[in-house]
Amino acid sequence: MSKAIVIGAGIGGIAASIRLAIKGYQVDVYEKNSYPGGKLSAFSLGDYRFDAGPSLFTMPHFVTELFELAGENPADFFEYKKKEVNCEYFWEDGTRLTAYADREKFSQSVASQLNVPVQNIKNYLENAQTKYELTAPLFLKRSLHRMQTYLNKETLRAIANLAKLELFQSLHQVNTQQLKNPYLIQFFDRFATYNGSDPYQTSGIMSLVQHLEEHYGTFIPKKGMVDITVSLVKLAQRLGVQFHYDQKIKRIIVDGKSCKGIETQDQTITSDIVVSNMDVVPTYHHLLRGHKAPNTYLKQERSSSALIFYWGIQHSFPQLDLHNIFFSKAYKEEFQAIFKEKTVGTDPTVYVNITSKEVPEDAPSGCENWFVMINAPADYRQDWEALVRQTRRLVIKKLNAILNCDLDTLIVEETYLSPPLIAAKTASFKGALYGSSSNSRMSAFLRHPNFSRTINNLYFCGGSVHPGGGIPLCLLSAKITADMIPTVHA
């Protein structure tokens, strides 16, 4: 039986293992941690449960598709529900915006809360949808690094409509021209952070990201985000995939121009296929030493990282929902600090995720579990202890002012995650959450390919390679990768 090895049990690696098992491979997944999921994992502090990493769930069909491919009914194994409200937004001057999942309700909300004509919103969202429809068949569903991707009518259609993609303006410029209202500009600028980028630098094509959340909506698994990992690992195991935890890989074995397997701390394991779900930079630096590295990709600017505070809150805030954003008054300066000065701004935007709003058992009665995230630079050996103390103080000051509370007296459980800790836990290079940033005009389209150009039978998936980071793109990365690998015929 043909064998495949997957290095790393992140969400991309788990999905790749499922697809390869369906294609007839005997699949083994090797993970350095004692648990699967990478960033998409969970832990508890006292009576509070927290999802450790990604907190936004959209495009759930990329998860349910995996069960369907295996001939199973997704509803029997994975339950989730759609949110009526995508996110609540707060500004320090008292301005608020409720972002409804329904387009009509959202447009009316913007009209009433921000005094923006409904048609302006609809026009903007239609433009974002056009960008998505022009580029998705090319960018999200195929490898950009193979000639056959470009020899089809979808590519020709995208080229013919190049002006509509707004490649040569920044996202902020596009938003300013089309929206005018400063609150709404900031609202739509924020979506650059979905791939760890700067709205003042990243291309205007990135307004297509808004379409994904607005069109598909946001969802919450009934057992928390970690249930995406748990349910997919169980699916993989039902297909015969073997998971090996606490296994640190020493190197990928290459004989001539072909990949032959891996070497762990205590054994050599041969295979026909190797897929690295590990960040592509340490894959080359540590597992492929002696082989020429594709430095064009590896030296790209890193995406943003994050400071995350996990707080058990002995109080309930009815004005908050599952997803909440508290905006900075100096948004441009916040991104200048992150990408130019490599620090955290003095007035950071704060994201608060509270899963106990939807999963009551995640916190004691009358209490809430707060996942508090602030955009931060990747790890360039800054003084993170000092930055954590400073940022915590700024965050609490902002939230106290907007929510009219005294958070220090309400926090009964606490821990945090910083870029160096993210790097240590997940092997993400410099703790960057999305691999490389998309700050230059074409960088989103120039990520490392899903295969090796120089080593046969070696493939890559996950957030550091094409098409990018975040749960949906990691799942698509696994699909693109698996589609390149031949099916095993009996």
What 3 state SS string does 423-452 have? HHHHCCHHHCCCCECCCCCCHHHCCECCEC
Alpha helical stretches, state H, 140-207:
153-160, 171-179, 182-189
Q: Indicate whether 150 pLDDT > 70.
A: no
Cα 282 from Cα 300, distance rounded (Å)? 14
With bands split at pLDDT 50, 70 and 90, how would you rate the model's confidence at 204? Answer: confident
Q: Is 75 left (phi over 0), alpha (psi -120 to 50) or beta?
A: alpha
Identify the bridge partners of residue 99 per DSSP, sorted by sequence position. Answer: 87
What strand order describes the sheet that includes 458-460? 242-244, 26-30, 3-7, 273-276, 458-460
pLDDT for 418: 98
pLDDT for 158: 57
Identify the bridge partners of residue 373 per DSSP, sorted by sequence position. Answer: 308, 351
In a domain? residue 476: yes
With bands split at pLDDT 50, 70 and 90, how would you rate the model's confidence at 421? Answer: very high
Q: Indicate whether 489 pLDDT > 90.
A: no
CATH code for position 248:
3.50.50.60
CA angle 75, 81, 84 (to 5 degrees): 155
In a domain? residue 250: yes
pLDDT for 148: 53
Residues 6+ apart with CB under 8 A from 230: 223
With bands split at pLDDT 50, 70 and 90, how would you rate the model's confidence at 130? Answer: confident
Of the candidates 429, 431, 467, 462, which has an alpha carbon nearest to the alpha carbon of residue 275?
Answer: 462
With bands split at pLDDT 50, 70 and 90, how would you rate the model's confidence at 446? Answer: confident
With bands split at pLDDT 50, 70 and 90, how would you rate the model's confidence at 349? Answer: very high
Sort 146 into a burial class: Cβ within 10 Å, 0-12 / 13-18 / 19+. Answer: middle
In a domain? residue 441: yes
Cα-based distances in Å from 307 to 3, 189, 249: 39, 20, 28
Considering the chain, what is the average pLDDT of its residues? 92
Q: Indicate whether 152 pLDDT > 60.
A: no
Cα 191 from Cα 187, distance rounded (Å)? 8
Cα 187 from Cα 422, distance rounded (Å)? 27
**Token output for 290:** 């002696």
Residue pair 422/303 in contact by the 8 Å Cβ criterion: no
Q: Report the range of poorest mean pLDDT among 40-44, 218-222, 295-299, 458-462.
A: 295-299
Number of structural domains the chain divides into: 1
320 CA to centre of own chain: 23
pLDDT for 147: 47
Q: Report the range of poorest mean pLDDT among 63-67, 166-170, 230-234, 300-304.
A: 166-170
The amino acid present at 374, given as its one-letter code, is I
In a domain? residue 369: no
Per-residue pLDDT tens digits for 275-316? 999 999 999 999 999 898 888 888 889 999 999 999 999 999
The residue segments making up the domain with residue 23 are 3-39+54-75+224-300+437-484
Average pLDDT, stretch 23-33? 97
With bands split at pLDDT 50, 70 and 90, how would you rate the model's confidence at 111? Answer: very high
In a domain? residue 320: no
In a domain? residue 60: yes
pLDDT for 439: 86
DSSP E strand boundaries for 143-280 = 219-221, 242-244, 249-255, 258-264, 268-270, 273-276
In a domain? residue 130: no
With bands split at pLDDT 50, 70 and 90, how would you rate the model's confidence at 88? Answer: very high
In a domain? residue 65: yes
